[in-house]
Amino acid sequence: MAPYPLRPDYTLPNTLPNISRWILYPILFILGLVAMAVAMAAVVLILTYPNLPSLDILTDYRPKVPLRVYTVDNHLIGEFGEERRAVVRIQDVPDVMKQAILAAEDERFYQHSGVDAQGVVRAALSNLLGGGKRQGASTITQQVAKNFFLSSEKTYARKLYEALLSFKIENNLSKDQIFELYINQIFLGQRAYGFGAAAPIYFGKSLQELSIAEAAMLAGLPKAPSAFNPVVNPKRASLRQQYVLRRMHELGFIDSKQHDAALKQVLVVKRDTNEFVVHAEFVAEMARQMAAERFPEEVYTRGLRVYTTILKSDQEAAYNSLRRGVLDYDRRHGYRGAEAYVEMSDIKSEQDEALDELLQDFHDSEDLHPAIVLHADAKQIRAYRRGGEIVTINSDGLKFAARMIDDKAPPNKRLRRGAVIRVQTDDKNNWRITQMPEVESAFLSADPQNGAIRSLVGGFDFNRNKFNHTTQAWRQPGSSFKPFIYSGALEKGFTPASIVHDDPISFPASVTGSQAWEPKNYDGKYEGAMRMRTALAKSKNMVSIRLLQASGVHFIQDYATRFGFDADKHPPYLTMALGAGSVTPWQMVTAYAVFANGGYRIAPYIVREIQDEKGQALALAQPVTAGDESLRAIDPRNAYLMDSMLRDVTIYGTAARASATLKRRDLAGKTGTTNEHVDAWFCGYQQTVVGCSWIGFDQPKNMGNGETGGSAALPAWIAYMAKVLKDVPESFMPQPEGLVALEIAGSGKGPAKEFFYKENVPTSVEPEPEQDQNAKPID
């Protein structure tokens, strides 16, 4: 029996309705709010969706494609535009790149409909549990919507708009179309837009050549292009790459073996400023200027392609030959000391990251690398190179700079801790000290038949000095101008066999128009009477002056314009005989081409064609070709005789080194050295190519005794011709009509044949006087 029996009419209190109200009402309230939100969202959707922007910008995708410049054989040499972009089709993107992007950015891209609900929930939980906003959930489609239509502000209104746009994009485009837009539009740092542009910029490769490790590195960039940039933040970039590789492994895109191999791969990230395989910066800039002048409105966004006349092999030969010639000259004149000094008091170790910051103002010049001296003594120098490499230089590598390591060296040039130096590897791959040269140079070559420029190097280093010496530098040509005086003399009745005196000469002020003038030969030696042919080969100043005086200065001034020279740049004075006027290397190539092609004035050109983004020609060059008699500049007999005399220059004259080195007798040209050794030239040709080499200081000054056209300029010309004429057979100009050959007595060399204009055949030919066979030409 219960201790407390209940009354028969007693019932338990009804508490269930009260409990239900406490639970049910809040649920109903929440459901009501949800319903209202859904209704409001539906209203917003109904009102907003039709007003979303048109997708024409996506369906008719026209990205800002930069202006690109190519060699004639289709090698990229320049790119200009705010956005560096290479548009690729989705089918041309390798699977490993697609997989890396999906693993990093949107693994469910091919499952969701624009907004990934699972991703949103996952990100929300992660952020809630993590105590802050740490993870985003934007899909690839949402990123496309944002990049094309929206700002980067982080507001709920923009996110809603982004979601609505994503749904619209998904309803109108296929997944592959959306993915292709993303791959081409996304910003990846280093001014690279799209993965097609990023691959060559970061790794010097095409997308198809990327390894798994490299693809993962690029795929990690969209999240934060600055933070994960392997050029400026290699450590953070590596951590991001490891994350992408882990996700690729978890998703089954790569197996464990591939994952581990990718982690171990050492990536070689490009850090230099030149991303092109051909050094043709001056050419690219010339092409850019021409395109901008012709198509100023969209030149950097329309995707124009400029095809130059440059040949890759010729350009490389010219670039390497010029640099070798300049560096050889520079080494002949000794080491000048430290390039600069940096503050090292805050440097804690040899791997201090601040060392890279100290080097940021010193760019690499091809193989001339800047480095900071960490320790220096007479036996060894240790220096830091950009990127963390410690360079050790000893024995032979120190010889060039030995006098600047000594304690007696000038304090502002001595090599000590904190000094910035230049280092390069020698033929045995050992480090040695070098320096940036102060002297400048230029090299230009062309096809003498139609004027197409085959190579152009406007200076030693475009990044240091953008002044184009081939077209902008007006310099005195020195003796390289003499052939045009000799050519004019032939028109006045002189012949290669004419005897002219190489004796001292002086002119009073009444003749020169200013002051008395007593010109001299370079070596101060005079050989008396000699044939005109011999005088040109030996570059005799006295003979050139007498020929100019006999021909008439005004006649020669006007005659030189036939070759492309400006009359006002060559005042009608006798100093013209010594090349005291002003020329550019471009003019010199134009002029020497007349001798090479048989007497025709051609017009050098460097841009062959400009195409639009679809490959349609917008502009085509209209070259003039030798053989058209309307282009004739000089009598073909004159050209033939000058060619013969200029070949003598390279066989036994001031440029004899050319034929001796290249083992061929079809080379022709002339050395040139100006007063006080300020400018040195060699201009010459073989029938298939004409080239000009110049060297000198931007602020004219003496280059040093012995630095003549034959020693300072000719080596670069020879090195270039050695490359481009390697498989070219010897060829000689055919003899034109109207010439008569006579055998004449040589100077101890036996009978010789000389040519004369038919109307000027002499009744007898005076033998050339005996010359001093030990006399060596200087110029």
Please give the Cα distance from 492 to 475 (Å, whole number): 28
105 catalytically annotated: yes
Task: Give the span between the Cα atoms of 114 and 164, in whole angstroms.
Answer: 9
DSSP 8-state code for residue 730: P
Task: List the catalytic residue out of 105, 162, 170, 440.
Answer: 105
Q: Which of the 8 DSSP states describes residue 581? A: S
Could you give the C-alpha distances from 690 to 73, 362, 589, in angstroms and in order?
20, 36, 6
Q: Beta strand pairing status for 380-385 and 389-394?
A: antiparallel
Helix axes 482-491, 636-652, angle to 10 degrees: 140
State how far the Cα of 174 lies from the Cα of 188, in Å rounded to an integer.
Answer: 24
CB 489 within 8 A of CB 551: yes
CB-count exposure of residue 255 (10 Å: 0-12, 13-18, 19+):
exposed
| Closest by CA position to 450, among listed 72, 169, 717 | 72
Task: Give ∠ CA 497-668-281 in degrees, rounded to 5.
Answer: 150
Q: What are phi and psi of 208, to 5 degrees?
A: -65, -20
The strand pairing partners of 672, in sequence order, are: 681
Which residue has tokens 């000089």?
634
C-alpha span between 193 and 88 (Å, rounded): 12
Residue position matching structure tokens 């230089």: 393
- Which whole-number Å values give the CA distances from 283 to 70, 273, 311, 321, 694, in the listed order? 10, 17, 11, 17, 17
∠661-663-666 over CA atoms, to 5°?
110
- Written as one string, the DSSP assignment of 36-72 is HHHHHHHHHHHHHGGGSPPTHHHHT----BPEEEE-T
**CB 433 within 8 Å of CB 290:** no
Bridge partners (DSSP) listed for residue 443: 457, 693
Helix, strand, coil % over all residues of the chain, rounded to 5: 40, 15, 45
Task: Indicate the burial class of 42 (C-beta count within 10 angstroms; 0-12, 13-18, 19 or more).
Answer: exposed
d(CA 180, CA 648): 64
- Spatial neighbors of 473 by CB under 8 A, at least 6 apart, are 442, 467, 584, 585, 694
Query: For 105, which DSSP code?
Result: H
Q: Please, what is the angle between helix 482-491 and helix 553-560, to 10°?
A: 110
The identity of residue 383, as a single letter, is A
Beta bridge partners of 341: 419
Q: Identify which of 263, 202, 209 has the alpha carbon closest to the alpha carbon of residue 229.
A: 202
Catalytic-labelled residue, pool 365, 479, 480, 539: 479
440 in active site: no
Q: Which residue in the block uniquely carries the two structure tokens 């130096």?
A: 421
Q: Which residues contact 373 (CB under 8 A, 6 or more apart)?
A: 338, 381, 382, 383, 415, 416, 417, 418, 419, 420, 421
Looking at residue 603, its amino acid is A
Q: How far is CA 446 from CA 206, 328, 630, 642, in A?
A: 32, 25, 21, 19
- Helix/strand/coil for 19: helix
Catalytic sites, residue numbers: 105, 479
